[in-house]
Amino acid sequence: MIVPGKLSTLIPLLVAATYVHAEEHRNTDNVAQTLTSFVSAEVLNREHPKYPKAAARRGQSGRVEMTYTVEPDGKVSNIIPTNYSGSRTFIKEATKAVSKWQYSPAMENGKPVQSCLHSVRLDFKIGNGNPEKFSRFYNKSIDILTSGNTEDIARLQGELDAYTTNIVNEREALTLLKFYHASSIQDETLAQSYLAQLDLKTLKNVVPDIWPKLAMNKANLYAKQQKIADALELVNLLLDDTQETFTPLELTEFKNNLIGFQKSDSHLVIQGKVGSLGHWHHNLTRKSFAINRVQGDLESVDVRCDNKRRLYEVNETTLWKLPLEWKNCQVYISGDTDASFELVEYPSLRNDENAVASSD
């Protein structure tokens, strides 16, 4: 089990509705092989989201993560909220704000084009809560988890479930404690569930001493789930970071193993389930995929690549084949909450009469 150092107090939060613009995902590999001239979209104007009055009265903080496209006229469209914490009203205000943003459009060979891979995280922060109280609770919990006293550890679960907080950093640290607890009682399924919920961007500031181990644990979880693109993203973050927990040799070996699996003849089978926001998201690592074993109602498949976007109906007999020039592709599958399915990424493009492909 990963054991962190204790907290003094959590980093204070600003009294404001703030936003943090996420990095755009651009693939710079094999740039010399392309004959096109592409210039990324650049933001000209951002409107800040309003803080929902009810959430402000409750001292509630949270975040919203979303993806969107930028049209040739520089306007934002096709906004999809991908994750949130706190009040659902944050989603409404974040969507209102982002829909009013204005960009200079992406340019391809001197012509404005649609730019389809933009993502942003909007943080709603207000007040500091009671950081001393939470730090005492956190440190007490760590003492119990490292004590080896099985009775105290068993009782701790009730205390963790009962503790509530409106502060983003504290909620993430609370989820981290639940992950530690599930690991200590050797409940692997529950531990993986909490690990998947952890927001590593927040925890890097809250518990920087154990952030690399958490990132590596999550990368291993992604690899186990065959989400190779997500695992590679985390390993690359660790390679770029100044952390000293893992050597460059260890990380490079892990990365090469992931790339080897990515290029293998094995099918990648990823379990999907539509969440409460009405969709499920996956970063593709191959150009050919299908959807199988659907349980429930699915509505559409939204494929978004750097400067291409296509919307399809869901059909279990369809094999999607994406052109090689489409880079950094993501898929968003919408449908009824809890509808489940398998997304299968195939190792190479197959001949199939039901295949869907487009290169325009």
Alpha carbon dihedral 310, 311, 312, 318, in 10-degree steps, equals: 30
pTM here? 0.83
Cβ atoms 108, 36 nearer than 8 A? yes
Please give the Cα distance from 283 to 306 (Å, whole number).
12
Neighbours of 213 (CB within 10 A): 16
CATH 3.30.2420.10 in the chain: give the residue spans.
Answer: 16-125
Which pLDDT score, from 0 to 100, does residue 350 have? 53
**Percent of the chain as helix, strand, coil, to the nearest 5:** 35, 30, 40
Which pLDDT score, from 0 to 100, does residue 161 have? 94
> What tokens were used for 140?
């007490």
Cβ atoms 29, 324 nearer than 8 A? no
Map tokens 């105290």 to a residue. Answer: 152
Q: Which overall architecture, per CATH, does domain 16-125 show? A: 2-Layer Sandwich (3.30)
**Phi/psi of residue 294, nearest 5 degrees:** -75, 130
CATH 2.60.120 in the chain: give the residue spans.
Answer: 268-356
Query: Across the 360 residues of the chain, what is the mean pLDDT of every consecutive 10-residue run?
Result: 49 35 39 56 93 90 93 95 92 96 91 91 82 91 92 94 89 93 93 92 86 94 95 94 89 95 94 95 95 95 90 90 90 96 85 52
Please give the Cα distance from 243 to 236 (Å, whole number).
12
Instruction: Calculate Rg over the CA atoms of the chain.
Output: 22
CATH 1.10.3470 fits 268-356, yes or no: no
pLDDT digits (tens, 9 = 90+) for 123-174: 998 877 778 899 999 999 999 999 989 999 999 999 999 998 888 888 999 9
> What tokens were used for 242?
């100044």
Nearest to 168 by CA among 19, 57, 59: 59
CATH 1.25.40 in the chain: give the residue spans.
Answer: 139-262
Nearest to 125 by CA among 17, 49, 9: 17
Map tokens 């004959």 to a residue. Answer: 35
The topology under which CATH files domain 139-262 is 1.25.40
> What tokens were used for 151?
């009775």
Element (H, E) at 131: helix 131-147
**Phi/psi of residue 76, nearest 5 degrees:** -90, 140
Give the largest CA-CA distance in the chain.
68
